[in-house]
Structure 1
Amino acid sequence: MTRPLEGITVVSLEQAVAAPLATRNLADLGARVVKVERTDGGDFARGYDHAVHGTGAHFVWLNRGKESVAVDLKTAEGRSVVRNLVEHADVFVQNLAPGATERLGLGAADLRSARPELVVANLSGFGAGGPMEQRKAYDMLIQAEAGLISITGTPETPVKTGIPTADIASGMYCSQAVLAALLRHGRTGEGATIDVSMLEATAEWMGYALYTQMHTGTQSPRMGLSHSSIAPYDAFPTRDGQMLIGVQNDHGWRTLVTDVLGVPELADAPRFATNVERVRHRAECDACVAEQTALWSTEELDEHLARAGVPAAQLKELDQVVQHPQLAARDRWREIGTEHATVEALLPPATFTDVEAHMGDVPALGQHTRALLVESGMDTSSADEALRNGVAHQSEHR
């Protein structure tokens, strides 16, 4: 069967996380993605670490299924290569510093003046315009500006999330917007210029916390594993570890204390009978639950909670996630290639019943440069000259 984006070509001038995630999503759906990189080291995410057989973990995560062309954009020849590749593309994505593509002659206005049907997606920290347009915008900084750090952590210590949430949010909105633009293009022939701001994507994800602030004037507190509006909702001790339990309604509370923990007298106790009262008496409620869960092993408690339909989970370490029985049972791992070794990668979460996602290899820096130079309009001798004089770089890995 045909992959959803088969026949679509994307050229991306990208680095780090946000834009590479957006274009990897498109590659997984079958688009051809040409990744434009610097000749001197390429996407700097390649060098964040060497965790995956010598390749950076971020890079392996974000760049499967792409072709890499490495050109020097400080040269007219390098910029011409990108313009010529875009000439035959459907989508151009970039997340360079604000104004950088305009200075290179690769801004949306320049590209779409010749091809108004092109879809251009610009991904930046703070969006076009406004007093912070030129500010540096790394994930942690955006988490701080969007208020995410202010509600994450414990009452004593604010923390950032353990994954690059701002990057992921903006990358997902970027690929979503590109898909919408392609859908419209298929109907009308129109192109699009899309602006995706990391700040705005993350602020949108703040959701109920923002609405609570706007309508009550109250800052959502940092609750650790707990929840400001629900109880019991936390990690509770077992004989050999801990169990996360989240009871979201009064029926669930009754089931927990009656059918699992064996203390039915707590079900209708006035201080616990409703969620509002349980939140008001959170410390006492949590202590009553913890007294009972501490009598169980984690495995036993997990089994009984699941059988009773009480929302709960074991707090898994990452090595347990790699071996997660649900991922194994659903056959979610696939092998992909890198320049040094074959590795396993998770299938994309959205599963099509009629066709599997395209899980291509992770490219070495400039792995496809010579072929793409020729595709951009150079003859073979000119392509070889560009490689010799440093305008372009070709990896030895083929």
Structure 2
Amino acid sequence: MLPLEGFTVVALEQAVAAPLATRHLADLGARVIKVERVEGGDFARGYDHVVAGTGAHFVWLNRGKESLAVDLKSPEGVEVVRRLVARADVFVQNLAPGAAARLGLDAARLRADHPGLVVVGLSGYGSGGPMAQRKAYDMLIQAEAGLISITGTPDEPAKTGIPTADIAAGMYAAQSVLAALLRRTRTGDGATVEISMLDATIEWMGHALYTQLHTGRQPPRMGVGHTSIAPYDSYPTRDGRMLIGVQNDRGWRDLVTKVLGAPELADDERFATNVQRVRHRAECDAEVARRTREWTTAELDARLAEAGVPAAQLKDLSDVVGHPQLRSRERWRSVGTEFARIDALLPPPIFEEFEARMGDVPALGQHTRALLLEAGLTEEEADRALSRGVAAQHDASAPDSPSN
């Protein structure tokens, strides 16, 4: 039995942060009812169509959910959502600030009617404060949180290549739901949870933030290097580059004696401790780079692995897709989408007792009619809602064969 079997989540969600949170809950067995717009659905459906006609973001974030397409500008559409929430354990939303309240789906109203409900609201900047009403997207939050200021090279800042702020908020939201449901088993009480993308991302700033706080100095942008550790960077080989990360003084000794053939560097006073190596970073990196050029990337990788020195080859995503570690550990599964079956990764947590449920990615409104009936509409009322455009029903047509 999956840990969240029997729990129902209603999610008024779009884009990344909230869908990521509820996908984690679906993987753990929760029933997730995704409420979407009649026209177009979740914005992420239209970001691109690169996964067999479906958006890559949407495929990543929405497997295992039921899609209900209703017009929330109509009283009938809102009433359907209210009825489903009345039967649910969790309600999650990441609408624009104030939008949930205008629909009568704010936490105060829902908790008054359903004290055991867990209500989670995700926003860019949180309630209150001068920025509460501002629109928030991942790149903007990365900028406000200082993440862009420490990411990139010394010459050019950059945002991260993945939606870090969205992912941070989604992870904290999922974690909060689990904590709230556990608490409810003990007290019977629901919970009201607020997650801000800004709060989540600033929390992830970690050591950089505390460095600024306690020294008054902005940590510099280091590319793939590290502000507090050396050697920790990308180094040249005969045919490419190798990433080497020495975390302690013993690791330095192993690197120079067992790999680079330069035992004289082990006790060089400039490099004997990490503090000294950071202080003499340019010299340290130059000594390492002068020697790593002697081998090909594959040769150096083998030497580093044998010596137990932390290192990695710089892989493109084409290498990651076929990564032998993923294949040997059987981390790929097949899931259905609207037009095809595709490969998808198992979620990271590995339980000995069960495997995460990886359901299909729904077509827009694929489950609408059934959910209208579940909400208490008669068959005639459901058909009338569909014919009037208050709700929409679409069917998936995925073939049975995997994508590759």
C-alpha distance in 2 between matches for 1:233 and 1:356? 36
Q: Alignment identity in percent?
A: 73
Distance in 1, matches of 2:220 and 2:139, equals 19
CA contact (8 A) 2:239 2:296 kept: yes
1:397 Cα deviation from its structure 2 partner: 2.6
Deviation at residue 237 of structure 1 after TM alignment: 0.6
Q: Deviations for 1:79-124, whole angstroms, at most 9, x for unmatched residues?
A: 0000000010000000000100100111111111111110000000
The residue number in structure 2 matching 1:104 is 103
Matched residue type, 1:151: I
SS of match in other structure, 1:209: helix
Is residue 2:152 matched to residue 1:153?
yes
Measured in 1, the distance between the counterparts of 2:281 and 2:213 equals: 25
Q: Could you tell me how far apart the structure 1 residues matched to 2:129 and 2:243 are? A: 43
- Preserved CA contact (<8 Å) 2:230 2:274: yes
Counterpart CA distance in 2 for 1:252 and 1:34 is: 50
The 5-angstrom pairing of residues 278-317 of structure 1 reads: 278-317=277-316
Indicate the residue corresponding to 1:238 in structure 2.
237
3-state SS of 1:387 partner: helix
Cα distance in 2, alignment partners of residues 308 and 47 from structure 1: 48
Name the CA distance, whole Å, in 1 between partners of 2:3 and 2:336.
Answer: 23
The count of residues paired between Structure 1 and Structure 2 equals 397
Give distance in 1, aligned partners of 2:280 and 2:209: 25
Query: Does the 8 A contact of 2:150 with 2:157 survive in 1?
Result: yes
Aligned mates of 2:245, 2:357 — CA distance in 1:
37
> Aligned partner of 1:342: which letter?
R
Aligned to 1:362: 361
Q: Deviations over 1:179-199 (max 9, x none)?
A: 000000111100001000000
Find the aligned partners of 1:230 and 1:181 in 2 and give their Cα distance: 39
The answer to whether the Cα contact below 8 Å between 2:337 and 2:396 also exists between their aligned partners in 1 is: no
| Match of residue 16 from structure 1 | 15
Q: Could you list the runs of 5+ residues in structure 2 that have no partner in the other structure? A: 398-404
Letter in 2 for 1:172: M
Q: How does 1:65-214 map to 2 (within 5 A)?
A: 65-214=64-213
- What does residue 225 of structure 1 align with? 224
Q: Deviations over 1:251-276 (max 9, x none)?
A: 11110010011011111111111111
In 1, Cα distance between the equivalents of 2:368 and 2:128?
Answer: 35
Q: Does the residue aligned with 1:64 lie in a helix, a strand or coil?
A: coil
Residue 257 of structure 2 is aligned to residue 258 of structure 1: yes
Distance 1:238 1:177 in 2: 46
The alignment's TM-score, normalised by the length of structure 2, stands at 0.97
**Alignment partner of 2:120: what SS?**
strand
Secondary structure of the residue that 1:153 maps to in structure 2? coil
Amino acid at match of 1:38: R
SS in 1 for 2:366: coil
Give CA-to-partner distance per residue, 1:275-318, whole Å, 9 cap, x none: 11111111111111111111101111111101111010000000
Distance, in Å, in 2 between the alignment partners of 1:115 and 1:283 is 62
Inter-partner Cα distance in structure 2 for 1:110 and 1:75: 19
Corresponding residue for 2:401? none
Q: Runs of 5+ in structure 1 lacking a partner? A: none
* Residue 378 of structure 2 corresponds to residue 388 of structure 1: no
Task: Give the Cα–Cα distance (whole angstroms) in 2 for the partners of residues 21 and 175 of structure 1.
Answer: 8
Q: Distance in 2 between matches of 1:348 and 1:155?
A: 35
TM-score under structure 1 normalisation?
A: 0.99
Separation in structure 2 between the aligned mates of residue 324 and residue 13 of structure 1, nearest angstrom: 36
Cα distance in structure 1, aligned partners of 2:126 and 2:45:
26
Q: How far apart are residue 384 of structure 1 and its match? A: 0.5
307-316 vs 108-117, which moves further = 108-117
Separation in 2, partners of 1:397, 1:298: 46
Q: Which amino acid aligns with 1:373?
A: L
State how far apart, in whole Å, the 1-side matches of 2:350 and 2:37 are. Answer: 34
d(CA) in 2 for partners of 1:286, 1:304: 18
- Is 1:31 the counterpart of 2:30? The answer is yes
Instruction: List structure 1 runs of 4+ shifted beyond 2 angstroms.
Output: none
Cα distance in 1 between the residues matched to 2:113 and 2:252: 63
